[in-house]
Chains A and B, each alone.
Chain A
Amino acid sequence: MTAPAVAQQPLSMRLLASSRRFIRWLTRPQVVLSLIMLFLMFYMIIIPLYRMVMTTVTWQPRDVINVPEAEVGGLTLYHYIRMLTGALGKIYLYTPLVHSLTIATGATFLALLIGGSLAWLVVRTDMPGRRLVNQLALVPYIMPSWTLAQAWLVFFKNRLSGGTPGVFEYLVGTSPPNWLSYGPVPIMICSALHYYTFFFLFVSAALMSIDSNLEEAGDLAGASRGRILRKITFPLVMPAILSGVIMTFSKVLGTFGGPNILGTPVRYYVVATMIRGSIGVGDKADAFVLAIILILFSMTIINFNQKLVGTRKSYETIGGRGFVAQVSKLGKLKKVALAGVIVFQILVIVVPLGLLVWSSLMLQDGNYSLSNLSLQHWIGPRGTIYNHGEPGVLLNPKIWKTAWNSIRLALWTALFTALIGILLGYAIVKGRGTRLSKLIEQLAFIPYVIPGIAFGAVYIAMFIKPLGPIPALYGTFALLVVVSVGKHIPYSSRSGVSAMMQVGRELEEAAQISGAGVLRRFKAIIFPLTSAGFVSGFLLTFITTMRELSLIILLVTPETQVLASQTMFYIENGDGQMANVVILILISLVAIGNLIISRFRGGSLKKGLGM
């Protein structure tokens, strides 16, 4: 070996050689990018989390009211003891936590049932109209998650809130019982009808990627249909199902909108609404304790799930090229299935939107006569007895500003997220096998396990005070962009990785051999070849950011209000009909954005999800 030769070299030479090697390592594009991303993720994920934890274990100025001997800034477990024990613990934590878990479990199960069946019908049967169903199945995803909750209320509400009758009472004559109007059942149903899209996407992708030879092999071996489904198809789809479970469960745990609309009127609190409540009364440390517990729960469940499927399979690529799938003949059931799906789509898309439109056109809520129809909430004048004197939404400069905020936020977030996604993808894929690459991939995964409302809470802790050169961002528009980009990092890294995987390292290496520098390689090779991935990431982020509520509800101020949070403030203010108008505007904007963005370079929502 060369060992003796090395030993004979003078020390200065050896030092020079190793520093040259180090600089060469450091200036590799994937290393430079990795380090930048590492810094970014520390700033956006690790430090905020650390600050949040620190807040919960130190005395806060507020605590002096309850505990006079408290030393502000000193370490204490006071907040944990307060929130985890006694009567307060029950009210603040245990009951809401049980509620949250109940809803998350129920919604996940229901969503799996709906999404899985739809996926199977679309991919593996000869049901007519499958292409259309395939496209319509994504529609609920572009609507804000609490749209259905609001529509539910229009239909099922009883006299408990607002004292006006819902459509149900108008049609049937009796007021629906509380359990049907509010609380866990409607929350679960509404969440499931929104989040089934994940299952649909994941499972249909998995079903498509199963080589039907595998099933045919089972067929030839004489296994029955059910046995094949159970022993071959199901295990192969299992990772997809579990990744749907993880995603849905963690999303529902952190969802604020639905539970706030449907739970709060009957004092059915979940952790998310509790966190908001505590922040609202200024008990930040208490809210953070709740947020941490929510994060821990979410992490545990995700970990458990991943153990179940083995090494992170659930999160990793489920996609793949389609094989010609074996199609089940439905026979006579074909029409039944189709009818069922049509009814379902109408119930999920047309009816809720119709209800919202109708509600927005009623001058007085709960009066279902034709003469009550009015455009007051849309274009009514200022200073009427309606809506606390506010003018109709379309004439309200405040709403225009809010809409502009929404669009601005979505565009900036989408831009940064898509860019970071490609760069992360590059750093991870090029560095495959190195520790740095693994570290970055794992860090990028963290926001995934932090429920939306908790992630928002993390950012309060971080940016309320300046940190080094970084100013206090609380109350600024920039903070909303930062939190949205941060929350989207897992998705963007995922779609970035899958976009980069398709490029193949040889394409860049060929340019390297040609003598092209890093910037030229990015400009001429990497960016053009990942543009579809970029647009898809952009589109996904645009849509989710436009309608995101849980994440930003704790961070918006009157100046930085966006449409999503505006609806919630209207609802809480008792101006539900104005809220419905705003929701409709929001959905229209998302739909228009979707139409425009998906025209570029073959971008698509599915690709944005890394499939």
Chain B
Amino acid sequence: MESSITINNLTKRFGNVVAVNDFSLSIEPGAFLTLLGPSGCGKTTLLRCIAGLEDPDGGEIYIGDKLVFSYTRGISLPPGQRNLGLVFQNYALWPHMTVYKNMTFALEVQKLSKEEMNVRVKESLAEVQMDGYEDRYPREMSGGQQQRIALARMLAYRPKVFLMDEPLSNLDARLRMDMRAELKHLHHVAKATTVYVTHDQVEALTMSSAIAVMKEGVLQQLGSPDEIYRYPANLFVADFIGNPKVNLLDGVATGHSVDLGRFQIDMDTTGAPEKVVVAVRPEDVAISLEPVPGSVEFTAYSVLPSGADSTIVARLGKLEITVRVMGISTICMDDKIWLVFDPQMLNLYDRESGDRSTLGS
């Protein structure tokens, strides 16, 4: 049922702008892969290339073992022959058709029997919990409902690959949370290979089996959500993933410690260049209210509680570090606090190239 997707050296230009640059990626059958990156990074273009809505300027794409695009061979299957479904950012439900008509449009093209169509529509609507909405027009439904119908429309013709282009970005925050769970469950049930485009890192981390982070048309890192979060391959990924943002501090590696100017963190830095950037996630810094061995004295510059956790901005001279603690913090602004850094939780990056240094000999 499910297909793999293989992309080799794909390039797509718009005039002088290279939207996708020599991009290679392999997606396992049944995977939920998220293309993640800031707007303009080429993730939607890449998705549209897979769908066949754009004609790339180089490279090739396989869906399963079927070659759907090859520049050098001049092959490009039209979208309808690639056996995939696409959910658009604005749903793209046809406003002049009822839900039923919207859903059976593709089935009519496939020349399915009337009975079969009815069965498919019923099943798919049930899957997105929209039973009984067959006769509604898109404008008679809320954004969330339209979203579900857009999903149902795709489910009804049972493509082997699901493509989704920021499908949740038009929903309000609460609905988005609900739909994430729904989508993840749907993928679990349908088991179709899914390529999901988003700029929302939380969405990417919560839903994907694999994440491909993109910047300016180039793949930055491919990995599981855990890998991407714990071991960002370069400063761009480190900075892009995580909320509040990762702390990035300029330092000098001495071999057995990192010198951050006002203080040092003892750790083995063999394998790292001299000029480094230390990355530490806000939740990986511990706060002590009194001095403990190895701690560094900071001042609480700002305290931002948000219910489940609190964010504390600590300062030492010009050095500013964001720390995240669970629950409501008792720390007050201008309090003295002591930060403890766990060398295990730090990543070192080459200040020149921005790439992560693999530590240890």
Residue ranges of A at the interface with B (Cβ–Cβ < 8 Å): 1-2, 5-6, 9, 13-14, 16-21, 24-25, 433, 504, 506-507, 509-517, 520, 524-525, 528-529
Q: What residue of chain A has the Cβ atom nearest to residue B80's Cβ?
A: A515
B88 part of interface (Cβ distance < 8 Å): yes
6 contacts between A and B (CB under 8 A): A17-B70, A17-B71, A20-B74, A513-B80, A513-B84, A514-B80
Cβ-defined contact, B72 with A511, below 8 A: no
Are B15 and A507 touching (Cβ within 8 A)? no
Cβ distance A2 to chain B, nearest Cβ, rounded Å: 5
Contacts of A14 on B, CB cut-off 8 Å? 72
Q: How far apart sit A433 and B13, CA to CA, in the bound complex (Å)?
A: 13
**Minimum CB distance partner of A509 in chain B:** B53
Docked pose: A480 CA to B52 CA in angstroms:
44
Choose one: A16, A509, A512; the contact of B74 (CB below 8 Å). A16
Q: Inside 8 A of A507's CB, which chain B residues have their CB?
A: 92, 94-95
In the complex, how many angstroms separate the beta carbon of B313 from the nearest chain A beta carbon?
Answer: 33
Contact check, B109 vs A516: say whether CB atoms are below 8 A apart: yes
B40-85, CB < 8 A from A:
51-53, 55, 58-59, 70-76, 78-81, 84-85
Assembly CA distance A20 to B70 (angstroms): 11
Are B86 and A513 within 8 A (Cβ)? yes
Q: Is B7 an interface position by the 8 A CB rule?
A: no
Is the beta-carbon distance between B22 and A1 smaller than 8 angstroms? yes
A514-B74 in contact (CB<8A): no
The answer to whether residues A504 and B92 also contact, given A17-B73, A511-B105 and a CB cut-off of 8 A, is yes
Check B14–A433 contact: CB distance below 8 A: yes
A514 and B157 contact, CB distance less than 8 A: yes
**Complex contact B105–A516 (CB within 8 A):** yes
Contact flag A520-B109 (CB < 8 Å), given A513-B51, A528-B96: yes
Hey, what's the 0/1 contact readout for B84-105 against A, CB within 8 Å counting as 1? 1110111011111000000001
Q: Which of A9, A20, A506, A528 has the most CB of B within 10 A?
A: A506
Most buried by A among B51, B89, B92, B110: B92
Q: Are B22's CB and A2's CB within 8 A?
A: yes
Q: Take A2-B11, A528-B96 as given contacts and tell me if A506 and B74 are in contact as well, using a CB distance cutoff of 8 Å.
A: no
B296 at the interface (CB under 8 A from A): no
Closest residue of chain B to A23 (Cβ to Cβ) is: B74
Q: Are A17 and B74 in contact (CB under 8 A)?
A: yes
Q: Is A13 touching B72 in the complex (CB atoms < 8 A)?
A: yes
Q: Which residues of B contact A517 (CB under 8 A)?
A: 80
Assess the A2–B58 pair: CB atoms within 8 A: yes
Q: Which residues of A contact B52 (CB under 8 A)?
A: 512-513
Give the size of the chain B interface in residues (CB under 8 angstroms). 38
Tell me what chain A mostly uses at the interface: helix, strand, loop, or mixed: helix
Chain B residue with the shortest CB-CB distance to A528: B96
Q: Which 8 pairs across A and B sit closest by C-beta, in order of nearness?
A: A515-B80, A20-B74, A17-B74, A514-B106, A506-B92, A510-B92, A506-B88, A515-B109
A512 partner residues in chain B, CB cutoff 8 A = 52-53, 78-80
Contact A515–B81 (Cβ < 8 Å): yes
B9 within 8 A of A: yes
Whether the Cβ atoms of B72 and A5 lie closer than 8 Å is yes
| Cross-chain pair count, CB within 8 angstroms | 99
The residue in chain B whose Cβ has the minimal distance to the Cβ of A512 is B79
Beyond the given pairs A14-B72, A516-B109, 4 more chain A to chain B contacts, judged by CB atoms under 8 angstroms and listed by A's residue number, are A17-B71, A25-B55, A507-B94, A513-B80
B312 CB, min distance to chain A CBs, angstroms? 37
A113 to chain B, nearest CB (A): 41
Q: Shortest Cβ distance from A159 into chain B, in angstroms?
A: 63
Q: How far is the CA of A6 from the CA of B73 in the complex (A)?
A: 10
- Please indicate the chain A residues that have their CB under 8 angstroms from the CB of B11 in the complex: 1-2
* A96 shortest CB reach to chain B, Å: 48
Bits for B11-55, please: 1 = Cβ < 8 Å to A, else 0: 100110000001000000000000000000000000000011101
Q: Which residues of A contact B70 (CB under 8 A)?
A: 17
- Nearest opposing residue in chain B for A529, CB measure: B96
Give Cα A210–Cα B109 distance, bound, in whole angstroms. 45
**Interface contact A2-B84, CB-CB below 8 Å:** no
Minimum Cβ distance to chain A for residue B300 (Å): 38
A21 and B74 contact, Cβ closer than 8 Å, known pairs A515-B81, A516-B105: yes
Q: Is the CB of B79 within 8 A of A1?
A: no
Residues from chain A with a CB closer than 8 A to the CB of B51 are: 509, 513
A516 touches B58 (CB 8 A): no
Given A2-B22, A520-B109, A24 contacting B96 (CB threshold 8 A): no
Alpha-carbon gap, A529 to B55, bound state (A) = 26
Please tell me if the beta carbons of B79 and A513 are within 8 angstroms of each other in the complex: yes
Q: B9 contacts A2, CB within 8 Å?
A: yes
Would you call A513 and B96 a contact (CB within 8 A)? no
Q: Which residue of A lies closest to B154 (CB)?
A: A513
* Residue with the highest number of chain B CB atoms closer than 10 Å, among A2, A9, A25: A2
Do residues A17 and B72 form an inter-chain contact, with CB atoms below 8 A? yes
B72 and A6 form a contact (CB under 8 A)? yes
Q: Which residue of A lies closest to B76 (CB)?
A: A24
Q: Give Cα distance in the complex from A394 to B169, angstroms.
A: 65
Q: Which residues of A contact B73 (CB under 8 A)?
A: 13, 16-17, 20
| A513, B96: Cα distance in complex, Å | 18
**Chain A residues whose CB sits within 8 angstroms of the CB of B15 once the complex forms:** 433
A510: contacting residue among B84, B88, B110, CB under 8 A:
B88
Q: How far is the CA of A520 from the CA of B58 in the complex (A)?
A: 30
Q: How far is the CA of A504 from the CA of B96 in the complex (A)?
A: 14
Residues of A within 8 A of B88 (CB): 506, 509-510
Residue of A nearest to B9 (CB): A2
Min CB distance B21 to A, Å, is 9
* Distance in angstroms between the alpha carbons of A433 and B16 in the assembled complex: 12
Enumerate chain A residues within 8 angstroms of B105, measured Cβ to Cβ. 511, 514, 516, 524
Contact B59 A2 (CB under 8 A): yes
Q: Is the CB of B9 within 8 A of A19?
A: no
Taken together as a complex, chains A and B put the C-alpha atoms of A516 and B109 apart, in Å, by: 6
Determine the residue in chain A with the shortest Cβ distance to B14: A433
Task: Tell me the smallest distance from the CB of B189 to a CB of chain A, in Å.
Answer: 21
Q: How far is the CA of A528 from the CA of B101 in the complex (A)?
A: 14
Residues of B within 8 A of A24 (CB): 55, 74, 76
Separation in Å of the B219 CB from the closest CB of chain A?
A: 15
Inter-chain contact B74/A525, CB cutoff 8 Å: no
Once the chains bind, are B9 and A18 in contact (CB under 8 Å)?
Answer: no
Contact B94 A525 (CB under 8 A): yes
In angstroms, Cα B51 to Cα A25, docked, is 17
CA separation between A19 and B73, bound complex, in Å? 10
In the bound complex, residues from chain B placing their C-beta under 8 Å from that of A433 are 14-15
Contact present for B95 and A2 (CB under 8 Å): no
- Identify the closest chain A residue to B75 (Cβ): A20
Chain B residues near A510: list those with CB within 8 A: 86, 88, 92-94
Question: Distance (Å) between the CB of B4 and the closest chain A CB?
Answer: 20
Chain B, 95-138, CB within 8 A of any chain A CB: 95-96, 105-106, 109-110
- A516 and B94 CA atoms in complex are apart in Å by 14
Cα distance A17–B73 in the bound complex, in angstroms = 5
B15, B71, B90, B94 interface centre (most CB from chain A within 10 Å): B94
Task: Give complex CA distance A16, B76 in Å.
Answer: 13
Return the chain B residue nearest A3 by Cβ.
Answer: B58
Q: Which of the residues B72, B81, B109, B157 comes within 8 Å of A2, measured between beta carbons? A: B72
Contacts of A17 in B (CB 8 A): 70-74
Alpha-carbon separation in the docked complex, A1 to B9 (Å): 7
Query: For residue B71, which residues in chain A have a CB less than 8 angstroms away from its CB?
Result: 2, 17, 21
Give complex CA distance A513, B71 in Å.
21
Most buried by B among A514, A524, A525: A514
**Given contact pairs A17-B73, A506-B88, A510-B86, A515 touches B94 in the complex (Cβ within 8 A):** no
Of all chain A residues, the one with the shortest Cβ separation from B55 is A24
B44 → chain A closest CB, angstroms = 11
> Which residues on A sit within 8 Å (CB–CB) of B58?
1-2
